[in-house]
Amino acid sequence: MKLARFDKDRIGVVVDSNIFDVTDAAGVDPMEWPPVGATRLIADFEKMRPALERAAAEAAPIPLSQVILRTPVPWPNKVVAFPVNYHAHGAEMGAGYRATNQGFFLKPNSSLSGAGEPVVLPETPGREVHHESELAIVIGKTCRNVAAEDWQDYVFGYSCLLDMVVRGREERVARKAYDTFCPVGPWITTADEVPDPSNLRMQLWVDGELRQDANTRDLVLNIPGMIAMASAVMTLYPGDIIATGTPEGVGPVKPGQTIRITIDHCGEMNVPVIQGQGGSTEIFKDPYQLVKKT
């Protein structure tokens, strides 16, 4: 099943080029604050799935072109991100560490956006904002200290994710925390529809120029390892998102460009880039020069 969140916090099932509104069957109140309906749906999905399937079968189709796709889980407990998880990306960034020995960091919920929303660039003169294509793993059950061999028991589904970043050497979270710096979508493909997540091709284009092209089989720390590592440190909850890291080919984006990301079985996002107002801060006052290690 492909579960999407669209327009004003409505829930839909995507089939081909249409979406079917199942908000009522999902028990989601679009006016609820905080917007935890999608998180609750993931936690209760197994018992609610028959009702969702019936509602989708009875609903009128709505063309995807007529809705705005929002981030599928707007209020997860956390977004867990693994840096430098492809060797080639580590080499291009001059990083001497990898995810296996560096661990992870957290992105704020406020950085999440959806496939139908733009990336808004902050005012950071002298700095570039780079794209980073990643697979998103959505956790389906509360868990702690998960053994690597049991990882599949706790995965709800998968999605495309862009980990946008102000390039620099300052604290990683500050550079990746701006609003709209974590587009996720276009929907969540449930785990039963992704035959082999360890063999997914991921590609990213900017205005038609192919910049990133990799496969999850090349991850340094694989998906079982990421779930085991994260759950060893903290409890994972339904709706939590794990960003698996980006391959080589990261690069700058500018206002007016469009970022396109595709991942096998997970769909495609075409995200416009626009210039926003504000975001200037003292920590980014100095220009950044990449110095690669030799």
- Matching residue, tokens 């389906």: 140
- 214 plus 139 within the same structural domain: yes
Per the structure, the complete domain to which residue 32 belongs is given by: 2-67
- pLDDT value at position 97? 57
pLDDT confidence of 280, banded at 50, 70, 90? Answer: very high
Residue pLDDT, tens place only, 101-155: 788 999 999 999 999 999 999 999 999 999 999 999 999 999 999 999 999 999 9
Domain boundary among the residues 44, 67, 90 is at 67
Assess if residue 117 is contained within a domain: yes
Q: What is the pTM of this model?
A: 0.94
Residue of 98 and 103 predicted with greater confidence:
103
The number of residues in the chain equals 294
Read off the CATH number of the domain in which 257 is found. Answer: 3.90.850.10
Whether the pLDDT of residue 91 is over 90: the answer is no
- State the chain's mean pLDDT as an integer: 94
pLDDT of the residue at 293: 47
Q: Is the pLDDT of residue 92 over 80?
A: no
Query: Which of 67, 97, 114 is the last residue before a domain boundary?
Result: 67
Q: What is the pLDDT of residue 89?
A: 72
Mean pLDDT, range 87-107, rounded to an integer: 76
Q: What is the pLDDT of residue 101?
A: 79
Which pLDDT value is given to residue 165?
97
What pLDDT score was predicted for residue 242?
Answer: 98
215 assigned to some structural domain: yes
**For residues 182 and 113, is the Cβ–Cβ distance under 8 A?**
yes
In angstroms, the CA 60 to CA 51 distance is 16
CB 192, CB 176: distance < 8 Å: no
- Please write the tens of the pLDDT for every residue from 52-70: 999 999 999 999 999 999 9
293 occurs within a structural domain: no
Are residues 28 and 134 located together in one domain of the fold?
Answer: no
Tally of domains within the chain: 2
